[in-house]
Amino acid sequence: MPCWIDGQPGESLPLVDRGLAYGDGLFETLAVRRGRPLLLERHLARLAEGCARLAIPGDLALIRTELLAFSAALGEGVAKLLLTRGDGLRGYAPPPSAQPRRILLGSPPPAYPPANAEQGVQLFPCRTRLAEQPRLAGLKHLNRLEQVLARAEWQDAEHAEGLMRDLAGRVIEGVFSNLFLVKDGLLLTTDLRRCGVAGVMRAEILALAKRTGISVQVRDIAHAELLAADEVFLCNSLYGIWPVRRFEGHDWPVGTLTRKLQALVRKLLDA
Span 133-142, pLDDT tens digits: 999 999 999 9
pLDDT of residue 89: 84
Which entry of 28, 66, 161, 173 is annotated as an active-site residue? 173
Which entry of 28, 29, 66, 231 is annotated as an active-site residue? 29
Would you tell me the crossing angle of helices 200-211 and 40-54 to the nearest 10 degrees? 120
Report the C-alpha gap between 212 and 239 in whole angstroms: 22
Are 199 and 191 a contacting pair, CB within 8 Å? no
**Of the given ranges (14-18, 29-33, 68-72, 195-199), which has the lowest mean pLDDT?**
14-18
pLDDT above 90: percentage of residues in the chain: 91
**CATH number for the domain formed by residue range(s) 3-107:** 3.30.470.10
Could you tell me the end-to-end alpha-carbon distance of the chain, in angstroms, rounded to an integer? 26
Report the C-alpha gap between 71 and 78 in whole angstroms: 8
Span 142-188, pLDDT tens digits: 999 999 999 999 999 899 999 999 999 999 999 999 999 999 999 99
Span 49-92, pLDDT tens digits: 999 999 999 999 999 999 999 999 999 999 999 999 999 988 89
Are 254 and 231 a contacting pair, CB within 8 Å? yes
Which entry of 84, 140, 161, 190 is annotated as an active-site residue? 140
Question: What is the residue-wise DSSP string for 149-172?
Answer: HHHTT---SS-SEEEEEETT--EE
Q: What are the DSSP E strand ranges found in the chain?
A: 3-5, 8-9, 25-33, 36-37, 77-84, 101-107, 121-130, 161-166, 171-174, 178-183, 186-190, 216-219, 231-236, 240-247, 250-251
**Domain boundaries, given as residue ranges, for the chain:** 3-107, 114-270
**Summary mean pLDDT of the chain:** 95
pLDDT of residue 271: 66
Span 199-237, pLDDT tens digits: 999 999 999 999 999 999 999 999 999 999 999 999 999
Residue 154, Cβ density class (10 Å: 0-12 exposed, 13-18 middle, ≥19 buried): middle
Q: Is 140 one of the catalytic residues?
A: yes
**CATH number for the domain formed by residue range(s) 114-270:** 3.20.10.10
Q: Nearest-CA neighbor of 39 among 235, 180, 189?
A: 235
Q: Is 29 one of the catalytic residues?
A: yes
